[in-house]
Structure 1
């Protein structure tokens, strides 16, 4: 699974130590998967491990078991094999005192096969990743529930390997003004800036103007803001951050519509159009990135993290509000 480095303006543990947490996340995932798999192979009862993190209270988990059993299908071709990792680690690589946020899978019904077990495990790991990317030992952020239902976020995290770093709609400070970008994928070899264009199923997009495009839905035409404006702005900001921190990594711009189509006559410099016709093959190409995590990938991620906005509050304060017993800072 790809690593969710920054989600919107939520606090991220990767901001605290970018070199530590990617390794720690991979180790945590691997350890818990081996526990789940071995207990299942040995014929044990449904698995539930005791909490071993620093939190005393767990956020309420989303109930997704019903969906697991409604979708019995093979995951060999569309999901990372959790047995293998693109970035092997040794015992000496991880420093610190072990995981400081728990991931304990709750398998309450015995799956019929290993693929079903993987699906259960990875679906729960997705929920955990959002918590991992919105909290630290001392702080946490309020997560919009829509991210737990975001199909593209889930697809990216579950189907891309560990050597991908994901920035999902990060908020960047530009001249003291917050600007929300779209999706940034950092692979070991390049940076992908992705703007999603998704609305009605099978919508057809025509780039017939510099500021506005036409979206065709059946016989109806609707004017929409040119999505290249947002994509180009994102690429410009990311490029400036890389130059400022002397990071050398190629940037590629992707305009993506998983459920619609782009006019094939459209052509813009350094922009790749990916629509419903070519989405599967494009994503499959991303999935098989054999390179390990590289130094310039860490440098690129750190360059972005150095400029992100963060909205968080101390643990123990509900919804970011101080309790009556909590004194104001400076009093």
Structure 2
């Protein structure tokens, strides 16, 4: 799953040390999934052996709950995945269910890393826990993709709110999400507006390329400031809709239902590891984002001791 390194203006572990946390996350995720999978296999074998034994259902459920309480082990030198909700209704029936349960729990853990550090905390809007778009990017893309979700950039004392930025091992992808639960048709009219057609109704919407250009401009300005050379792509994404256009803007892709599967499969299949230049680019972007947080009360006393 992709890593959430910046969420709006919340304080993030990654902005404290971009060269540590991405690799640490990948390692912890693998170690813990391998561990839970082995425990799951053993528990299923044990349940199979006990299947003929008369046992109270409540006691059987307690065993299954205990299985998940050991889901995330602690490491001496690393912060554990300590924020997972371990309550579960039942043991997963197959490995696909096990993986989905694991990803759901990691999703909530990622929100913790993207809104707090050991010394500071931001007040997380609970709406992000139900944000299907955020969950889509975090659970469907590779671990080596670093996600900025609605970041607020600081440029020359001005604030600019972005939409979705993926820092991959080969490029920075600026994404404007243009979608509905139902199929819609989007027609590119001119540089200022598009037409959206849905259920027989038409309405004008702002040309998404306007926001993409601002986002790309902010990213390019930051990279240039730090003398970082990295490819920047722009994508208008409408997985369930159709985009009608006469020509594509420079270095921009329109991804709709006609080519979504190929685009998605291409990114899902990326096996390239984290790159130093990728982390350097992500760190530069983080350096120019707005952060609003308070110090954790327990650290006030520690600081006084120093």
TM normalised by structure 1 equals 0.78
Given that residues 195 and 255 in structure 1 are in contact (C-alpha distance below 8 angstroms), is that contact kept between their aligned partners in structure 2?
yes
Larger Rg: 2
Richer in helix (by share)? 2
In the alignment, the residues of structure 2 paired with residue 170 and residue 261 of structure 1 have an alpha-carbon distance, to the nearest angstrom, of: 27
**Residue 259 of structure 1 corresponds to which residue in structure 2?**
240
**Residue 70 of structure 2 corresponds to which residue in structure 1?**
49
- Deviation at 1:20? 1.0
**Among 139, 142, 164, the residue aligned to 1:183:** 164
- Deviation at 1:294? 0.9
In the alignment, the residues of structure 2 paired with residue 309 and residue 101 of structure 1 have an alpha-carbon distance, to the nearest angstrom, of: 26
Alignment of 1:104-123 (within 5 A): 104=84, 106=86, 108=88, 109-123=90-104
**Residue 50 of structure 2 corresponds to which residue in structure 1?**
none
Structure 1 spans left out of the alignment, 5+ residues? 54-93, 318-325, 327-331
**Residue 279 of structure 2 corresponds to which residue in structure 1?**
298
Given that residues 207 and 266 in structure 1 are in contact (C-alpha distance below 8 angstroms), is that contact kept between their aligned partners in structure 2?
no
- Relative to structure 1, the CA distance from residue 123 to residue 51 in structure 2 (aligned partners, 3 Å threshold; closer, same or farther) is closer
1:259-289 residue CA offsets vs partner (Å, 9 max, x unmatched): 2211043422211000122222211111111
**Among 78, 87, 103, the residue aligned to 1:98:** 78
In the alignment, the residues of structure 2 paired with residue 269 and residue 104 of structure 1 have an alpha-carbon distance, to the nearest angstrom, of: 43
**Among 273, 277, 288, the residue aligned to 2:269:** 288
In the alignment, the residues of structure 2 paired with residue 104 and residue 197 of structure 1 have an alpha-carbon distance, to the nearest angstrom, of: 32
Tell me if 1:268 matches 2:249: yes
Given that residues 200 and 260 in structure 1 are in contact (C-alpha distance below 8 angstroms), is that contact kept between their aligned partners in structure 2?
no
- Relative to structure 1, the CA distance from residue 113 to residue 160 in structure 2 (aligned partners, 3 Å threshold; closer, same or farther) is same
Tell me if 1:4 matches 2:4: yes
Alignment of 1:211-230 (within 5 A): 211-230=192-211
**Residue 19 of structure 1 corresponds to which residue in structure 2?**
19
- Deviation at 1:152? 2.4
* SS of corresponding position for 1:285: helix
Given that residues 256 and 274 in structure 1 are in contact (C-alpha distance below 8 angstroms), is that contact kept between their aligned partners in structure 2?
yes
Given that residues 200 and 217 in structure 1 are in contact (C-alpha distance below 8 angstroms), is that contact kept between their aligned partners in structure 2?
no
Given that residues 189 and 297 in structure 1 are in contact (C-alpha distance below 8 angstroms), is that contact kept between their aligned partners in structure 2?
yes
1:173-198 residue CA offsets vs partner (Å, 9 max, x unmatched): 01112211011111111111101112
**Residue 177 of structure 2 corresponds to which residue in structure 1?**
196
In the alignment, the residues of structure 2 paired with residue 225 and residue 104 of structure 1 have an alpha-carbon distance, to the nearest angstrom, of: 40
* SS of corresponding position for 1:185: strand
**Residue 38 of structure 2 corresponds to which residue in structure 1?**
38
- Relative to structure 1, the CA distance from residue 150 to residue 50 in structure 2 (aligned partners, 3 Å threshold; closer, same or farther) is closer
In the alignment, the residues of structure 1 paired with residue 113 and residue 279 of structure 2 have an alpha-carbon distance, to the nearest angstrom, of: 18
1:39-69 residue CA offsets vs partner (Å, 9 max, x unmatched): 111126322139877xxxxxxxxxxxxxxxx
**Residue 138 of structure 2 corresponds to which residue in structure 1?**
157
Calculate the aligned-residue CA RMSD, in Å: 2.4
- Deviation at 1:34? 2.3
Given that residues 169 and 182 in structure 1 are in contact (C-alpha distance below 8 angstroms), is that contact kept between their aligned partners in structure 2?
yes
- Relative to structure 1, the CA distance from residue 146 to residue 238 in structure 2 (aligned partners, 3 Å threshold; closer, same or farther) is same
* SS of corresponding position for 1:209: coil
* SS of corresponding position for 2:202: strand
**Among 129, 134, 142, the residue aligned to 1:148:** 129
In the alignment, the residues of structure 2 paired with residue 29 and residue 123 of structure 1 have an alpha-carbon distance, to the nearest angstrom, of: 13
**Residue 132 of structure 1 corresponds to which residue in structure 2?**
113
- Relative to structure 1, the CA distance from residue 266 to residue 199 in structure 2 (aligned partners, 3 Å threshold; closer, same or farther) is farther
